[in-house]
């Protein structure tokens, strides 16, 4: 079985996320999503619109996702790859080059983002519409 692992906050889940997860799952037979916890997001000076539990439930409802685990630190990626025996680490291409050190543990793939969509843009549109 070829295992794939990816990381993210996946707030305001949208078609860009779904496409990324579908392409990640296509790289293997089993997709693990490490979901940033609310506490970790706080350390990153980031606030998710939805709680960790809500985001986790949304991801678990997707047919492409086999397992959701918490992401609590930047440093856990190498240990997660070992623990879950991941063959592929993938993430959006806005992170290109940032995780190349993981190539000694598994294949690293940077997936192209879906043009014209992002959680930040969605939150900005909602804020403007609410005014």
Active site residues: 44, 46
Q: Strands, E, within the chain: which ranges? A: 3-8, 30-36, 67-71, 88-92, 107-111
Q: What is the DSSP letter of 115?
A: T
Q: What is the DSSP letter of 112?
A: P
Q: Which of 80, 8, 10, 72 is nearest to 42 (CA)?
A: 72
Task: Give the total residue count for the chain.
Answer: 131
Q: In what order do the strands lie in the sheet with 88-92?
A: 67-71, 30-36, 3-8, 88-92, 107-111
- How far apart CA 82 and CA 12 sit, in angstroms, is 30
């Amino acid at each position: 079985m070829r295992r794939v692992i990816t990381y993210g906050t996946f707030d305001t889940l949208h078609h860009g996320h779904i496409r990324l997860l579908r392409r990640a799952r296509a790289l293997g037979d089993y997709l693990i999503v490490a979901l940033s916890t609310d506490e970790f997001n706080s350390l990153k000076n980031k606030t998710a619109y939805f709680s960790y539990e809500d985001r986790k439930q949304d991801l678990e409802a997707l047919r492409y996702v086999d397992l959701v685990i918490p992401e609590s630190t930047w440093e856990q990626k190498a240990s997660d790859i070992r623990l879950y025996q991941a063959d592929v680490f993938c993430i959006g291409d806005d992170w290109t080059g940032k995780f190349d050190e993981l190539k000694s543990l598994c294949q690293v793939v940077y997936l192209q983002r879906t043009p014209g969509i992002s959680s930040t843009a969605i939150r900005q549109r909602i804020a403007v519409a609410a005014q």
